[in-house]
Amino acid sequence: MHLSLFCILGVAAMFAACSTVSATDDDDDTITLNGSGKKMLSSNSKNGGKSSSSQSTEIMDEDCVGESGEPWDGTTAKNFACGSGTKLSPYIILTAEQLAHLSFVVNSSDKAFSGKYFKLGADIFLNKGKVIDEKGGFVADSAKLHKWTPIGNSSVAFDGNFDGDGHSISGMFINTTSSHNGLFGNSQGTVQNVTVENSWVYGGGYSGGVVGMNGGTISDVSNYASVTGNQDCVGGIAGRSNGPYPKNASILNAKNYGIVKGVNFTAGIAGQTYQATLENVENYGLIEGKNNVGGIAGRGAYTYINNYFMDCKNAVNYADVFGEENVGGILGAAGYVSPTISSGKVLATLINAKNGGKINGKTSVGGIVGFANRVSLENIGNISTVEGNKYVSGIVGHLIGSNSKNLYNTGSISGFQNVGGIIGYNEEGVTNSAYSTGKVDGDSLVGLMIGYNYNTTMADYYYLKRGKQEPFGLNNGGGVATPKTEDEMKSKDFAKLLGDEFVYDSGLNDGYPVLSWEKE
């Protein structure tokens, strides 16, 4: 009898040993120990305040090598922590030395790692202590910092799949005159679910906080690094996003909080975007440049050659943007580069965009777009101040051969020539369903709606009446605009008059109608 009881207890203990034991932490990561002694990590990590798209189950062997949480010692590991580089068993990176190993194998063109999968298993610290302060200024002793070599360069591109799994990389220090700078210098692969913070990037062309030159996909990323470029193409997320034909480059679900300074083609998300898609992109960092400067993209599309198009959807900017020519809260410029060409297919689309930052420039300055030629614009709003000299407006400074609808401006606009609440200079396009309530000041060709309107088809334009000021500085054919009182414009009836995309909400936009996507 005692022997039977012993056997029963022994079998029960054996089953208990083979069963799984689970523990869940506060970050929704569930670690399970199975009978083989391996750790299984089910992750629902968060990135930038949003749930990451990475919801994976990976097997992390107990033999994974590397002590996470330690700052980089400047050396390069010989191997990754563990993994085989497949989708189900990615190479795991636990330390800064292992991240440096990724840079080494990519930049040395080691074909054994081409197309492989990589995943962070911990936050990475490339330097200890503060590199930048709360205002984005450099505060560290550069002589004591380890310089980061970007993953990929001007001749070699990363072509694998990098998943940050919601982790951050901090303390990155780049100080060079060469091009292709960022966490990744050049990527034709996928970079996702990672935050770059407390970092400094100073370089030449194609410099970004996350990727210098993007020809692949960037998704679910945030940048808090300060990025400065002394040449063209500088961005908070990517310096340039350009898909090699016929491939399309993409930046999805991206936020920039870092200060970005450059020369030409400078922006919060991507300095240049050709054959590219931008979707769910936000900028909260100060932007300074010279020509083609934007809160989201400096330049979108260019010409018919190689199908250089751009599609941008759900874009917001809440930071100040400063430049000289082609300056916009969302896009500095889009479409054809030449203002002498005003016919042909649409080269760029912008759907659902809003600017809340101050925009300041000289020529072609807009709350949304500075200069646009052969562009389609839908569901657009500006609520902030726009200042410039020539071609200045709340929505588009200089608009040629384009279609625009569902537009509003409540910001104050000021300039000298071709100044308007909605469009500064409008030529040979189609535009409808728009209103403006902002003050508009200037010297020549100044209108509460459009500064100079030439040969344009338009309908359903409304403006807040301001004394004897006219809706057009000069209307050379193309429709009329109707004055309204403040009470009339802050009513449900006015929102219905504008169309289905506008909604009434007395608690938003000082009571003026907003666009339906803003409430989603």
Q: What is the DSSP string of 12-59?
A: HHHHHHHS-EEEE-TTS-EEEE-TTS-EEEE---EETTEE-S---EEE
Half-sphere exposure of 60 (CA within 13 A, CB side): 24
User: HEC string of 149-175?
Assistant: CCECCCCCCECCEEEEEEEEEECCEEE
DSSP 115: T
Query: Closest Cα partner for 480 from 457, 502, 500?
Result: 457
Give yes or no for a contact between 460 and 434, defined as CB atoms under 8 angstroms apart.
yes
Which phi and psi (to 5°) does residue 235 adopt? -150, 155
Tokens of 47: 């990135």
Residue 515 exposed, middle or buried by CB count within 10 Å (0-12, 13-18, 19+)? buried
- The b/e string for 319-356 (b: 16+ C-beta within 10 A; e otherwise) is bbbbbbbbbbbbbbbbbbbeeeebeeeebbbbbbbbbb
Coil vs helix vs strand at 500: coil
pLDDT at 311: 94
Query: What are the pLDDT tens digits along the chain (520 aa)?
Result: 443 433 333 434 433 333 333 333 333 333 332 322 333 443 433 344 333 334 333 445 558 999 999 999 999 999 999 999 999 999 999 999 999 999 999 999 999 999 999 999 999 999 999 999 999 999 999 999 999 999 999 999 999 999 999 999 999 999 999 999 999 999 999 999 999 999 999 999 999 999 999 999 999 999 999 999 999 999 999 999 998 766 889 999 999 999 999 999 999 999 999 889 999 999 999 999 999 999 999 999 876 555 568 999 999 999 999 999 999 999 999 998 777 665 677 889 999 999 999 999 999 999 999 999 999 999 999 999 999 999 999 999 999 999 999 999 999 999 999 999 999 999 988 999 999 999 999 999 999 999 999 999 999 999 999 999 999 999 997 789 999 999 999 999 999 999 999 999 989 999 999 999 998 8
pLDDT at 262: 97
Nearest-angstrom CA–CA distance, 397 and 254 = 26
Element spanning 365, H or E? strand 363-366
Half-sphere exposure of 450 (CA within 13 A, CB side): 28
- Does the bond joining 244 to the residue before it have cis omega, within 30 degrees of 0? no
Neighbours of 499 (CB within 10 A): 13
pLDDT at 303: 61
Q: How far is CA 105 from the centre of its chain?
A: 28
Q: How many helices (H) and strands (E) does the chain have?
A: 4, 53
pLDDT at 341: 62
- The b/e string for 250-278 (b: 16+ C-beta within 10 A; e otherwise) is bbbbbbbbbbbbbbbbbbbbbbbbbbbbb
Can you give the pTM of this predicted structure? 0.88
Element spanning 498, H or E? helix 492-498
Query: Closest Cα partner for 136 from 362, 320, 391?
Result: 320
Which phi and psi (to 5°) does residue 291 adopt? -115, 145
Tokens of 121: 């298993």
Query: Closest Cα partner for 210 from 144, 263, 258?
Result: 258
Give yes or no for a contact between 470 and 445, defined as CB atoms under 8 angstroms apart.
no
